[in-house]
Amino acid sequence: MSETLRIEERDSHVLAVLDRPEKRNAIDQETVDALHRLCARLEVERRTLILAGAGGSFAAGADIAQLRERRAADALAGINTRCFQRIRALPMPVIAVLDGYALGGGAELAYAADIRIGTPTLQIGNPETGLGIIAAAGATWRLQEIVGDALASELLLTGRILGADEALAAGLVSAVLEPEAALARAVELADRVARLDPAATQATKRMLLAPRAAHPEADLAEQAVLFESPEKERRMTAFLERRSKREQA
């Protein structure tokens, strides 16, 4: 258990809420440790993860009080980077609900998700250069992949923060909804995923994360495994039998 990460077990997913509202959910070492523990579990249990923040913020960044004390060896250890990479690589989908501030490391945690849903108060971006550091926990490569080179360069080089409308227009979030509805949408998506074949979902995620040069051979290898799976046989037979019953009726 952690004081800063509240975890709820749900039917179709696990909900993890960054819960340090008095510090705008700034991501400290305790939160990073709790996220690693959660990842270790989800790597085995293979469930969809919904990430959210308490008190009207997602996360206003890495904890600047701790960042100020970190030295070269800490940078090389990639304290947040390794944690967010692990979240990115979770076998099942990760959905982030972004309410209020998603800044710096908070934005990078959001970029590590597969699906992002915003709220009208969203403020998302990377002000790191203003603090004398780079956004080294995913922004320099993930933000480009999500919104393209032109906007990513502008945001990372200027520290400009996007509001909800601009984030939606840029494809940084796929919807903007009031906080309750945003969480409800995330749950709806997790429920949808739970009805699909988990092996096919995991293979799709692996292929979404695979480097360009791995395609299409890696896809064919994944498909070869799935083409032999009893679940594929069952799902396709169920579809065809439903159709033929309808035709007979």
* 128 given a catalytic annotation: yes
Q: Kindly list the residues in this chain that would bind ligand COA in the complex (CB under 6 A).
A: 23-24, 26, 60-65, 101, 103-105, 127-128, 131
Q: Which is nearer to ligand COA, 30 or 197 (CB)?
A: 30
Query: In the complex with ligand COA, which residue's Cβ is closer, 74 or 241?
Result: 74
Between 7 and 64, whose beta carbon lies closer to ligand COA?
64
Question: Among 128, 154, 188, 231, which one carries the catalytic annotation?
Answer: 128
> Which CB, 65 or 214, lies closer to ligand COA?
65
Smallest distance, ligand COA to C-beta of residue 212, A: 29
Least Å distance, CB 20 to ligand COA, is 9
In terms of Cα–Cα distance, which of 42, 135, 52, 45 is closest to 89? 42
- CB of 54 vs ligand COA, minimal distance in Å: 13
Spatial contact of 52 and 96, defined as CB atoms under 8 Å apart: yes
Q: Which of 108, 178, 180, 217 is catalytic?
A: 108
Q: How far is the CB of 106 from ligand COA (least distance, A)?
A: 7
Catalytic annotation, residues: 108, 128
